[in-house]
Structures are given as structure tokens and as C-alpha cells.
Amino acid sequence: MLNHPRTGQPFASPVPPGTGWPGDPATPDTPQAPDAARVLQLAGQVESIPELDALISVCRACPRLVSWREEVAVTKRKSFADQPYWGRPVPGWGSPKPKIVVVGLAPAANGANRTGRMFTGDRSGDQLYAALHRAGLVNQPTSVDAADGLQTDTIRIIAPVRCAPPGNSPTTVERNTCAPWIDAEWRLIAPHVRVIVALGGFAWQIALRVATDQPPKPKPKFGHGALAELGPTSRLLGCYHPSQQNMFTGRLTPAMLDDIFGRAAELAGLSG
Ligand code: SF4
């Protein structure tokens, strides 16, 4: 057992459901999906975001990803060797009634897989949350751990794969197995959403699939700043992924992130 870096409470790694980890949506009784068929069934029945978050957070449907996320949680990166790791799937984070949805890819092995919150505890998240704060969409510029007080009324961050994959690369089967979770999330939040921000080309494709019965024709192409109409009330906005590589090479800059999230806030009727 190691102590949580903020609360000081001791936890095993991975964290058993319902043992007091900050923001843990599950209890020891939350049903654990053991395979793709059960994911489909549970996701099809879910009726609220808290219920969905709980179900996702204990899912065990992808054997390779379950082993990897738990192995990383035990072995840990050297710099985090004194911390407990969440080591479970990472549910969406933010408002259950968001006006803006940010679509990422999958949790980072030593970021969200450690802290239990989307984009929290890695360099991509540092850039993302700082930009969200500058745009007035979250209450603080940093996202360090799941007990740091970060809040939002307006955005939600979601992903098409909820477990950290080896080499940041889930297989097609794993993507398909996880898809019912994001479909259920979209069903529950869609009435509130005005803008989807897709972080990268893959997230763009996911957003088109999830948010439209039939993608507009011709199919809108991803680009940084590209805008697609998804229906009378919602739009899709492209943004390069704030990966370490993109930020380090200058392909994406903080000013470019500010443009995107300023625009998203404006399109969602949140600015001015
Ligand atoms: S990737 Fe998705 S479906 Fe697979 S184990 Fe994780 S949460 Fe479950």
C-alpha cells in the first residue's frame, strides 16, 4: 500500500473499487464487464452519467489492456514509484451536461492510468488544461491529481478507448470492444452539446461516427481549425493533439490551442 500524494490515504495498485480514491465512481458491487458482449449490454441499458462512469471504471473486457494497465500500476515509472496507481479504466471527466466535448484517444500509462482522471498527470494534460483555463472553461490551470479541486460546468473530456494501451496503440478489436461506452456517453450528453473538439485525426473520425447517423457528404476532412456542421445545433472543430511531440516541435503552440478553445467557447455561446 502507498499513500495518495494529496489525501495521504493508503491504496493498493490497482485501486480496488469503492475504497475511497478521490472521484472513484464505483462501489465493490458495480458490475464488471468481462467481455465485449457484456459491455454492449451494460452500455445499452445505462441511464445516467454517474452510472456509466462507474461501469466503465471497473470494465475488464480487453485481456491485453487489463494486463498492461495493471502491470504498469504495479511496476510504475521511477519518478512515481512512491505513489499508488489507479490502474483501472478512466471514465469521462467533467460536466454531465456539457456544452463542449473534447475527444481524446486513450489514457496515458503513467498519466491518467496513475491519477484516474483524463489527461491528468502528463505533459499533454498540462497543455490542455492550461488552455482550457485560459478560455474560461475550467476553474484552475493545472490538473495534477484527482483531488486537486479541478472543476467545470461546461465541458466534458471523453475518449474512445478507456484503458492505457501498450505503445499508445489499441488494436481494432479493442477499439470495437470499447466503442459501446462512448456511444452510451454520447447518447446521455448529446442534447446539451454544441461543440465537439476533436484532438487529432483519429478523434475526428470517432466524433463523426458517434455524433452522426450518417456523416455529412463529402466527409469533412480533419485539420487544425477545420469546422464541420453536424446538425442544426452541433459542430465539430479539429485541433492537433497536444502531444509532447506536437508541442515540442511547435506544430501546435499554446496560442493555437487558445484559438481553438476560444472559438469553441464562442460557438457554444459561452463567451462575451
Ligand atoms: S478498453 Fe474499454 S472495453 Fe477494453 S477493458 Fe478498457 S474500458 Fe473495457
Domains and CATH numbers, the chain: 2-268 (3.40.470.10)
3-state DSSP assignment of residue 155: strand
- How high is the pLDDT of residue 233? 84
Ligand 1, closest atom to CA 56?
A: 7
DSSP code, position 9: -
Choose which residue among 41, 161, 175 to substitute to test ligand 1 binding: the one with the highest number of ligand atoms within 8 A of its C-beta. Answer: 161
| Closest C-alpha residue for ligand 1 atom 6 | 163
Quick check: 115 and 107 in contact, CB under 8 A?
Answer: no
pTM over 0.95: yes
For the chain, residues with pLDDT lower than 50 are none
Residues with CB under 6 A from ligand 1: 39, 56, 59-62, 65-66, 89, 161-163, 174, 177-178, 181
Q: Which residues lie closer than 8 Å to 18 by C-beta, 6 or more apart?
A: 24, 26, 27, 28, 29, 30
How far are the Cα atoms of 124, 191, 200 from residue 135, in angstroms, in the given order? 17, 23, 20
Give the model confidence (pLDDT) of 111-156 as tens digits: 999 999 999 999 999 999 999 999 999 999 999 999 999 999 999 9
Give the model confidence (pLDDT) of 98-118 as tens digits: 999 999 999 999 999 999 999
- Grid cell 487489463 in the structure block, residue: 66
Output the CA torsion 9→61→112→24 (10° steps): -40
Instruction: Measure the CA–CA gap between 81 and 83, rounded to whole angstroms.
Output: 6
